[in-house]
Chains A and B, each alone.
Chain A
Amino acid sequence: MKYFRTHVLVGVNEASKQAGVEKFVAALRKELEKSGLQEEVNVLETGPLGFFGKGICLTVYPDNVNYENIKAEDIPELVAEHFLKGRPVHRLMFDAGSRFTPKFNYESRIVLRNSGIIDPESIDEYLGTGGYEAWEKALLQMKPADIVEEVKQSGLRGRGGAGFPTGLKWSFTAPIKCDQKYVVVNADEGEPGTFKDRLIMEGDPNQLLEGIMICARAVGATKAFIYIRGEYKLSIERLRKAIAQCYEYGLLGKNIFGSKFDLDLEIRIGAGAYVCGEETALIESLEGNRGNPRWKPPFPGVKGLWGCPTVVNNVETLANVPFIIKHGAGEYKKFGTPDCSGTKVYTILGDVAYPGLCEADMGTTLRTIINDYAGGMKKGFRFKAALIGGAAGVILSDRLLDVKMDLNSLNQYSAVLGSGAILVMDEHASIVDMLWSILRFFRHESCGKCSPCRNGTQQLYDIICKIRKGEGTEQDLDLMLLIAETMQQTSFCALGQSPVMPVRSALENFRDEFVASTKK
């Protein structure tokens, strides 16, 4: 193995691809060769780097310097100054002009521990970090029931939004005796402002695959599907490569490691409906039908894909599993709070200084996340509100800045952690506009199957349009809440049950603003 004194990590994602990262990497390598540095400086194409700069971004180790928006013409200066002479180019640095350094906090990373560090397209690099050791352990040293028990003990809860205990979910399917069971990975990330699953898959696809394998072993499924959004082209490409490598290395296929356990894994691409993130609608779509939800019971765990027992888990949930199996539930429970263990991956966006991705312990406060991970508010403006959990989330005011971000603590304030999207708004943001945007989204994304959701989303949208135009009345505010509550109580699936959360929280926390927008 070769040793390099410096590693340059290049973040390859949809944004940097648009900025021409492939050509850039070739040019950088060429420039390094010209200076005779090719044996000393290693250029690595990797996934998300953990900060969201513009254009092409680099992280240089061991100097721990982040660059953003690097153009091809900057390459000679970068090579000459930094890589040859060891003087970082301040002009190009990510936090140039600011004293903030994003907190990467690698100690509390589980899901993102390799992200931005290893080459996501190389299974060898994943293996080099101890990857697939958990898979080997699960397959050769543990009984399926032990795996389920370990996951139960870890306290891992679903990271897709609902927070259902993962081990418990598996324990419904595992004991069923039948010819065929399935594992379905919900990678149809549709909650507005959420893209954590994309970055998890782009940054470290093998970790997800390892989680899927362990889950399949635990519940006795011999076939797994990843249902992924069609827009996630890079994720799909990287997952495909990783799956092919797994087959090549004998990690997937027949009689894995001589254990007599077979597992096949396939990718299925969704067509972009929000409702297909609902597990039963996802299953319908996977079967080739219209993506309408099914009634529960029976739950998918008992009767799911093609009528067979099916475990449906979110990407982030499964990405936690290899750590739990490798290090044990006890080690996992050191993260997070006593009743809500582990970490959570957030996407922070809106009026913060540095929008991006971060992984923090469960129970970290909203204030800490905004200040330590996102550099505080943009341009020093005042915090006004945050939309937590996407469209099916809640709009919090500054009164709740110090609430702990975990499933239980937020529940006390009728809030949800949801998908982990945090949309921060400063004092200039209009909550009326925000709610309008959310309600327009629901109106567009309702599947139209059930009448409360089909008619309710349209009624809510009409009313918020009226209020936004200054033609609404205070009665309209009450009506909006009544409709949203009726939808919550009578809708067929979680989509129709959701609008009440943004509506109620917006009206409770910012009623004055709505009243001010009504007819005088």
Chain B
Amino acid sequence: MAKTVNIWIDGHAIEADPSMNIIEVADKHGIHIPRLCYHPDLPPTANCGVCVVDVAGNPLPKRACCTPVTEGMKITTNSPKLRSYRKTLVEMILSNHEVVCPTCAANNKCELQTLANNLGVDPDHLPTILRKQPKDDSSLSIIRDVNKCIACGRCVTVCNEVQTVYALTFADRGFEGHVDTSFGKGMANSPCVNCGQCTVYCPTGALREKSEIDAVWEAILDPDKHVIVQEAPSIRVSLGEEFGMPLGSVTPKKMYAALRKMGFDSVMDTNFTADLTILEEGTECVAKLKAGEKRPLITSCSPGWIKFMETYYPDLADCVSTAKSPMSMFGVLAKTYYAQEHKVDPAKIVSVAIMPCTAKKFEARRPELRDSGYQDTDYVLTTREFIRMIKEAGIDFANIPEEEPDEGMSFYSGAGTIFGATGGVMEAAIRSAYFLVTGKDLENVEIGAVRGLEGVKEAAVDVPGFGEVRVAVAHGLGNARKVMDRVREGLATKGESPWHFIEIMACPGGCVGGGGQPYGNDIASRARRGLALYEEDRNLPVRQSHRNPEVTRIYERFLEKPNSPIALKLLHTYYFKRSVTSGQVTEQATHKHH
């Protein structure tokens, strides 16, 4: 450790790292300084002023979130004056906020609500200065309600600095200053990729998913409809925490039981199509490797990443796997294979996906994803919406007896379940690609080099008969940008990519950190959920996608073999080029296989 400094916080002598701000040091030592806009995962925006502390020798208080500690600093975090200022400050914020807590999506999760409660503010002290504005509900994924926005700037920071999407910015100034999209044209006409990280970091309910709960209930209760549901890998490790169970509880069978109790006609699992994806994508990858292709193969599961690529890297669209995402593979198969096997009219099938993701709502409505002859996936619910439905249905999730899913499209391997964590798709692909090239299984299926939360992970795998395969894994679009820039540069200068195979997930941490995950979705809880997926993988009887019996069966009965003509027709897609200012399609970038 570098040189430390000696400081005192409320009289406690502390040896602190001078690269840290006061609030980080205080947090580390269990001293809680009230805060609102500060979030440990993000660089401080220093907009709210709540975290002010007194530093001896300074006439005015300092903001703890952005003031570095220095030698001899004497800090007071709690005094009658500071408490009075913080209280008035929060009263001012509330006076410009639509206070509708009981009906707000963020109720009980709202950081402003908690803070106001903790500080004991008087809601009637100041008259309201709120000027009601219409909501921005132009996006298929995300609703922005400026009336609840406190302009803390977290969404702008995560969008621009972490994700480098540049959809959100501050517009106007003074009291009229607000968060907006470029040219004020709404989320749907911005470069927004629907990743939803803004909804995760929003301290209030100003940013949230566009809810499809009502439509799903209606379908469930319609006796004429056959409602089939799939759940993404990360859902099973993100529910328990909301129902009093420890963070990272692995609860797939409680999840199935709850879904069946809610009234879904068929409870299947996205993990099954995750395994299927590995065979389709893995086959594509092996073909590229064998052909000595200089351009890399990049994964295509993450819809936020796909729109990001279409917007900022359309010149590399041909490098992205044509395989649809596991959700969309499931969607098309539900209305073809499943309908055929169960003799159900596909017109009556309503396909619902439960996803940790807001971008999946956008993906489901892509006009090209209708290879079943219908919209392949009808509704997408985020984890948050699913939790609300469980509560609405009055289900005691923690104590519900476990149940098995329905058969046919629900069996999964450990490789399928780790799709939910960054590096998981890569690890699953390596497990099967190795087999596809050598005809042998890997001795140790756990590939530590691609696990963990480092922004860009690299590994080289020695594949007998082929040689060294270089892979990279990036999570968070800011990291994706770094990787893509290097690919672009490598292709331009050396004529080849630095890596053969690249996994990209739009959200930091992968799907466990998705934009549809429960509020309070910080890096630490993402890591814990990711570990839960690896734990489930370790305990599953089958750990490689090509060993999944239901996958073998679907190829035998319906899809013939990976990348067969029918597989290419149903399970593969193509991409577009989009405007960097409006996010709208400008031209088609790649074509569908025939």
Of residues 164 through 207 on chain B, the ones whose CB sits less than 8 Å from some CB of chain A are: 170, 172-178
State whether the Cβ of A492 lies closer than 8 Å to any Cβ in chain B: yes
Q: How far is A489 from B51 in the complex, measured between Cα atoms in Å?
A: 11
User: Which of A273, A457, A486 interacts with B175 by CB under 8 Å?
Assistant: A457
Q: Which has the most chain A C-beta neighbours within 10 Å: B50, B81, B129, B175?
A: B175
Given contacts A447-B173, A451-B93, A452-B92, contact A459 B61 (CB under 8 A): no
Q: How far is A120 from B96 in the complex, measured between Cα atoms in Å?
A: 51
The answer to whether A486 touches B89 (Cβ under 8 A) is yes
Instruction: Kindly list chain B residues whose C-beta atoms are within 8 Å of the C-beta of A238.
Output: none
29 residue pairs bridging A and B, Cβ less than 8 Å apart: A292-B170, A443-B174, A445-B174, A446-B177, A447-B173, A447-B177, A448-B172, A448-B175, A449-B47, A449-B153, A450-B46, A451-B92, A451-B151, A452-B49, A452-B89, A454-B174, A455-B92, A455-B96, A457-B174, A457-B175, A459-B92, A479-B125, A483-B92, A485-B85, A486-B88, A490-B52, A490-B61, A490-B89, A497-B60
Number of interface residues of A (CB under 8 A): 33
State whether the Cβ of A334 lies closer than 8 Å to any Cβ in chain B: no
State whether the Cβ of A297 lies closer than 8 Å to any Cβ in chain B: yes
Q: How far is A459 from B153 in the complex, measured between Cα atoms in Å?
A: 21
Instruction: Kindly list chain A residues whose C-beta atoms are within 8 Å of the C-beta of B47.
Output: 449-451, 492
- Say whether chain A's binding surface is mostly helix, strand, loop, or mixed: helix
Given contacts A483-B88, A490-B52, contact A458 B46 (CB under 8 A): no
The answer to whether B46 touches A486 (Cβ under 8 A) is no
Q: How far is A456 from B126 in the complex, measured between Cα atoms in Å?
A: 11
State whether the Cβ of B590 lies closer than 8 Å to any Cβ in chain A: no
State whether the Cβ of B48 lies closer than 8 Å to any Cβ in chain A: yes
User: Which of B60, B68, B89 interacts with A451 by CB under 8 Å?
Assistant: B89
Q: How far is A462 from B50 in the complex, measured between Cα atoms in Å?
A: 23
The answer to whether B127 touches A462 (Cβ under 8 A) is yes
Instruction: Kindly list chain B residues whose C-beta atoms are within 8 Å of the C-beta of A486.
Output: 84-85, 88-89, 92
Instruction: Kindly list chain A residues whose C-beta atoms are within 8 Å of the C-beta of B129.
Output: 455, 458-459, 462
State whether the Cβ of A491 lies closer than 8 Å to any Cβ in chain B: yes
Instruction: Kindly list chain B residues whose C-beta atoms are within 8 Å of the C-beta of A489.
Output: 52, 60-61, 81, 85
Given contacts A443-B175, A488-B60, A489-B61, contact A458 B68 (CB under 8 A): no
State whether the Cβ of B63 lies closer than 8 Å to any Cβ in chain A: yes
Shortest CB distance A474–B (Å): 16
The answer to whether A448 touches B48 (Cβ under 8 A) is no
Chain B: which residue is nearest A461 at the CB level? B175
State whether the Cβ of B289 lies closer than 8 Å to any Cβ in chain A: no
Instruction: Kindly list chain B residues whose C-beta atoms are within 8 Å of the C-beta of A145.
Output: none
The answer to whether A490 touches B174 (Cβ under 8 A) is no
Instruction: Kindly list chain B residues whose C-beta atoms are within 8 Å of the C-beta of A452.
Output: 49, 89, 92
Of residues 300 through 352 on chain A, the ones whose CB sits less than 8 Å from some CB of chain B are: none
Instruction: Kindly list chain A residues whose C-beta atoms are within 8 Å of the C-beta of B92.
Output: 451-452, 455-456, 459, 483, 486
Q: Which 10 A-B pairs have the closest CB atoms?
A: A448-B177, A490-B49, A446-B174, A455-B92, A486-B88, A458-B175, A448-B173, A295-B66, A452-B49, A486-B85
Instruction: Kindly list chain A residues whose C-beta atoms are within 8 Å of the C-beta of B410.
Output: none
Shortest CB distance A274–B (Å): 10
Q: Mark A398-419, 1 if CB is under 8 A from B, else 0.
A: 0000000000000000000000
Of residues 488 through 509 on chain A, the ones whose CB sits less than 8 Å from some CB of chain B are: 488-492, 497
A446-B177, A455-B93 given; 8 more Cβ-contact pairs under 8 Å: A450-B46, A450-B47, A455-B95, A486-B85, A486-B92, A489-B52, A490-B89, A491-B49
Instruction: Kindly list chain A residues whose C-beta atoms are within 8 Å of the C-beta of B50.
Output: 490
The answer to whether A444 touches B174 (Cβ under 8 A) is yes
Q: How far is A20 from B156 in the complex, measured between Cα atoms in Å?
A: 51
Number of interface residues of B (CB under 8 A): 39
Shortest CB distance B197–A (Å): 21
State whether the Cβ of A96 lies closer than 8 Å to any Cβ in chain B: no
State whether the Cβ of B150 lies closer than 8 Å to any Cβ in chain A: yes
Given contacts A297-B68, A482-B88, A497-B60, contact A454 B177 (CB under 8 A): yes
Q: How far is A455 from B172 in the complex, measured between Cα atoms in Å?
A: 14
Shortest CB distance B529–A (Å): 32
Chain A: which residue is nearest B92 at the CB level? A455
Q: Which has the most chain B C-beta neighbours within 10 Å: A297, A443, A459, A491?
A: A459
Chain B: which residue is nearest A452 at the CB level? B49
Instruction: Kindly list chain A residues whose C-beta atoms are within 8 Å of the C-beta of B88.
Output: 482-483, 486
User: Which of A451, A458, A462, A490 interacts with B85 by CB under 8 Å?
Assistant: A490
Q: How far is A39 from B229 in the complex, measured between Cα atoms in Å?
A: 101
State whether the Cβ of A87 lies closer than 8 Å to any Cβ in chain B: no
Residue ranges of A at the interface with B (Cβ–Cβ < 8 Å): 273, 290, 292, 295, 297, 443-452, 454-459, 462, 479, 482-483, 485-486, 488-492, 497
Q: How far is A450 from B96 in the complex, measured between Cα atoms in Å?
A: 13
The answer to whether B48 touches A450 (Cβ under 8 A) is yes
Shortest CB distance B432–A (Å): 48
Shortest CB distance A480–B (Å): 11
Instruction: Kindly list chain A residues whose C-beta atoms are within 8 Å of the C-beta of B95.
Output: 455, 459
Shortest CB distance A481–B (Å): 11
Instruction: Kindly list chain A residues whose C-beta atoms are within 8 Å of the C-beta of B151.
Output: 448, 451, 454
Q: How far is A390 from B153 in the complex, measured between Cα atoms in Å?
A: 31
Shortest CB distance B504–A (Å): 29
Q: Which has the most chain A C-beta neighbours within 10 Å: B150, B153, B177?
A: B177
Q: Which has the most chain A C-beta neighbours within 10 Å: B49, B129, B151, B174?
A: B174
The answer to whether B170 touches A449 (Cβ under 8 A) is yes
The answer to whether B48 touches A273 (Cβ under 8 A) is no
Instruction: Kindly list chain A residues whose C-beta atoms are within 8 Å of the C-beta of B37.
Output: 451
Instruction: Kindly list chain B residues whose C-beta atoms are within 8 Å of the C-beta of A457.
Output: 174-175
Chain A: which residue is nearest B150 at the CB level? A451
Chain A: which residue is nearest B47 at the CB level? A450
Shortest CB distance A246–B (Å): 36
Q: How far is A462 from B47 in the complex, measured between Cα atoms in Å?
A: 22
Shortest CB distance A292–B (Å): 8
Shortest CB distance A299–B (Å): 12
Q: How far is A158 from B81 in the complex, measured between Cα atoms in Å?
A: 31
Instruction: Kindly list chain B residues whose C-beta atoms are within 8 Å of the C-beta of A297.
Output: 67-68
Q: How far is A444 from B86 in the complex, measured between Cα atoms in Å?
A: 24
Instruction: Kindly list chain A residues whose C-beta atoms are within 8 Å of the C-beta of B178.
Output: 448
Instruction: Kindly list chain B residues whose C-beta atoms are within 8 Å of the C-beta of A490.
Output: 49-50, 52, 61, 85-86, 89
Q: How far is A292 from B170 in the complex, measured between Cα atoms in Å?
A: 10
Of residues 478 through 511 on chain B, the ones whose CB sits less than 8 Å from some CB of chain A are: none
Instruction: Kindly list chain B residues whose C-beta atoms are within 8 Å of the C-beta of A449.
Output: 47, 153, 170, 177
Instruction: Kindly list chain A residues whose C-beta atoms are within 8 Å of the C-beta of B152.
Output: 451
Shortest CB distance B172–A (Å): 7
The answer to whether A447 touches B174 (Cβ under 8 A) is yes
The answer to whether A290 touches B49 (Cβ under 8 A) is no
Given contacts A450-B49, A451-B49, A459-B129, contact A273 B89 (CB under 8 A): no
Q: How far is A445 from B173 in the complex, measured between Cα atoms in Å?
A: 8
Instruction: Kindly list chain B residues whose C-beta atoms are within 8 Å of the C-beta of A292.
Output: 170
The answer to whether A295 touches B96 (Cβ under 8 A) is no
Q: How far is A462 from B89 in the complex, measured between Cα atoms in Å?
A: 16
Q: How far is A309 from B361 in the complex, measured between Cα atoms in Å?
A: 48
Instruction: Kindly list chain B residues whose C-beta atoms are within 8 Å of the C-beta of A479.
Output: 125-126
Q: How far is A452 from B51 in the complex, measured between Cα atoms in Å?
A: 12
Q: How far is A456 from B89 in the complex, measured between Cα atoms in Å?
A: 8
Shortest CB distance B110–A (Å): 16
Instruction: Kindly list chain B residues whose C-beta atoms are within 8 Å of the C-beta of A488.
Output: 60
Chain A: which residue is nearest B177 at the CB level? A448
Q: How far is A295 from B95 in the complex, measured between Cα atoms in Å?
A: 26
Q: How far is A492 from B37 in the complex, measured between Cα atoms in Å?
A: 13
Shortest CB distance B116–A (Å): 13
